[in-house]
Structure 1
Amino acid sequence: MGLLNFIGPYLARIRMSDVIRNLYKCTLRTLLALLYDFPEFLSEYHMIFCDVIPWQCVQIRNLILAAFPSSMKLPDPFTHSLKVDTLPEMKVSPTIQSTYLLKLMICGLKDRGLLENIIKKMNAHQVGHPVDFKMAGLVFFEYLLEHFDTEGRFWMFTTFANHLRFPNMHTYCFSCIILWLFSNTRIQEVREQITRVLLERLIVHRPHPWGLLITFIELIKNGRYQFWQLVLQNLGLFQGDPQSSPWEEQKKLVDI
């Protein structure tokens, strides 16, 4: 942990000296050895690691988040018949060795009454559209997105993505939250930021966290999210009905 704290400010720079570059390579190899020999250590302490890793160090973060218990066999995320919601592991809460509960208590956030008061305040701003407590978490995140600036939303999605790991309850929960926000947001920039956060973790060298892969695969394959329509619209190549197929529009362009 001390090594990451020391090297962090240097890795945040655009240019690195040869000494820092060699130290970075040694850090990667050390973490890679831990990933293969002691994956439970990285898995259980991933939140502490992510707190000290600069956001630019995507590969280091991926390496830590890709850790999973040695007794577990990961399902192939590219299997067409894979039903993520039916996996028994998705109902199991992962082991986390950190003081996040203490931090929540210190901040006063580990309190159901506080959430209820927040919902009441949100209801006051949404006359005629009361918030269902069962949907309170999603509505609360949507409320934050509308009141955060661009940087705040980026850190929010970065934090969500840090929980996309091996099959467990947290991975399933945050995967659903990301997909729900992508589908239901009224802010176009939110979809772009979600895509950016996911893609910048996928375009680096392996390993990639399992939860990250299944979330992005679901996003681009499920037609309800209209991912490719939005991409083509941003490129100015798709001017048709958002419900129609973007490939038909591409075919028209090719025929022309």
Structure 2
Amino acid sequence: MANGLLLVGCGKMGGAMLDGWLARGTDPRTVVIVEPAEAAQTALKAKGVTVVSAADDVPDGFAPDCVILAVKPQMMADVAPAYARFRSPETQFLSIAAGTTIGFFEGALGGDAAIVRTMPNTPAAVGKGMMVACPNPNVTKAMKVRAGELLAAVGEVAWVEDESQMDAVTAVSGSGPAYVFHMIECLAAAGEAAGLPAALSAKLALQTVYGAGCLARDADEGPAQLRVNVTSPGGTTEAALKVLMAEGGLKPLMEKAVLAARDRGRELGG
């Protein structure tokens, strides 16, 4: 019976997932990590997990129910094939490498491998990520439940069955944090232009975006109604929204940005 987790790569995303699993009660003795960076190995071993430097060093007899591939996409062609030996009817492969297709993994690991392709985003590093997953036909219902549990350790989880949607997912949630960071930059710069000290304007912009996100996340009402709620007729917010919601304003600009990201994702995916 397959048992345990094999985490391949333990950088920021892999490390965040590991911390989430351990915080949720995963027995560290059931976790093996492949991490070649010696500087990271000591700290990982202190968590009680087994750490090795390469696939060939994984202890004999270790049969993971999930192999999590968390190396950079450009390294995956060199790394993934070494883990084909763990393929079994009870083992699934969970990839968090952006843009790397299920077809690639089927070629590297075998066509009968159970593969879940995921698109994480950087807020997963603080447990607030958005993880979207797509399974191949070899993934069983039980495997999907298991994968969902593992991903939920670092944020919210959603599933798509059509892999072609993953480029749009990447454009919205994968790249999305950068859009929000840029909005914070722009809002802070606008505050400066309006006469505020730089440090104060930066703090106002950051906390406002953070607070508004928390409110939108927890409120019973949707974002459109929340916008209406804070917009007094003839007031300051309405004056600003007339600019942002004008023809050529934020909505068409955001659509253009997301489509550009989606199309670039398709190009990179071949």
TM-score (norm 1): 0.25
Larger radius of gyration: 2
1 or 2, which has the higher strand percentage?
Answer: 2
Which protein, 1 or 2, shows the higher relative CO under an 8 Å CA cutoff with sep ≥ 6?
1
Higher helix share: 1
